[in-house]
Amino acid sequence: MNLRFIDWIWHVRGSLTLAPELSRDDAFDRLDPVFRQTGTSKERRDDTLVFHKRDQAAQDKMSVFDSGVLRLEQGVPGIVLHYHLISRALLFCFLAPLLFLGIAQLTVAVGNHQKAVADAAAKAGKAPKKKPEKAVFPLNPIDKALGAPAPEKSKKKKDDKPSPTPAYVLAALFATLYVVGRVLEDRLVRSLFRKRLARA
């Protein structure tokens, strides 16, 4: 299976054409401050820059990416910067909704199973055992004298089936985070590189 068909989920690729007066060394010099961050290591080989990040700081503008490769190649319009960045955070945000959807389906299945067991027991004439209610203790005479209200008996819920709603909510939250993050980070990193390359 060719991972190229699915690695767009957590890989960000793009390219930028350099200004005609900008040399390869000038381009890497202007981009250098981007990779001079805490937890970032980089290595330059000819026209290629490889970087890795570990325990990156939140203020790092590329903190969402864990590693990547920047390559300068000669194109028709001039020198072109090609970048390929990898983000485990994007992968996690993509997989999290699938996990929570699985939990939701499991919750529904457990609820249906419990209902089926209760229905079968009712048809067989065996009522399910009720949980013992918590004892309600009388008020202390001092509390009564102070006018404190008597403790109320806990109201039994009609439907004790486990609810899949929290799992659906979390799945929707992470799905939104992924879509927004995937689009936003692509634009932000492109804008960051463009601004650095445009600086004198």
- The DSSP code sequence of 76-139 is SSSEEEEEEEE-HHHHHHHHHHHHHHHHHHHHHHHHHHHHHHHHHHHHTT-PPPPPPPPP-PPP
pLDDT of res. 145: 66
Instruction: Quote the pLDDT of residue 76.
Output: 82
Count CA atoms closer than 13 A to 94's CA, side-chain side.
14
Mean pLDDT of the chain: 86
Averaged over successive runs of 10 residues, the pLDDT of the chain (200 residues) comes to 79 94 92 93 94 92 95 89 96 95 93 87 69 62 67 58 89 95 95 89
- CB atoms under 10 Å from CB of 49, counted, come to 21
Burial 128-161 (b: 16+ CB within 10 A, else e): eeeeeeeeeeeeeeeeeeeeeeeeeeeeeeeeee
The domain defined by 3-88 folds into TATA-Binding Protein (3.30.310)
Spatial contact of 172 and 97, defined as CB atoms under 8 Å apart: yes
Which residue, 68, 61, 60, is CA-closest to 38? 60
- Say if residue 183 is exposed, middle or buried (CB neighbours under 10 Å; 0-12, 13-18, 19+): exposed
Q: What separation in angstroms does the CA of 116 have from each of 106, 120, 123, 161?
A: 15, 6, 11, 12
For the stretch 122-153, pLDDT in tens is 888 765 555 566 666 666 666 666 666 766 66
Classify 27 in phi/psi space as left (phi over 0), alpha (psi -120 to 50) or beta.
alpha
**What pLDDT, on a 0 to 100 scale, did the predictor assign at position 14?**
95
Query: What are the boundaries of each domain within the chain?
Result: 3-88
> What is the pLDDT, as a whole number, of residue 40?
94
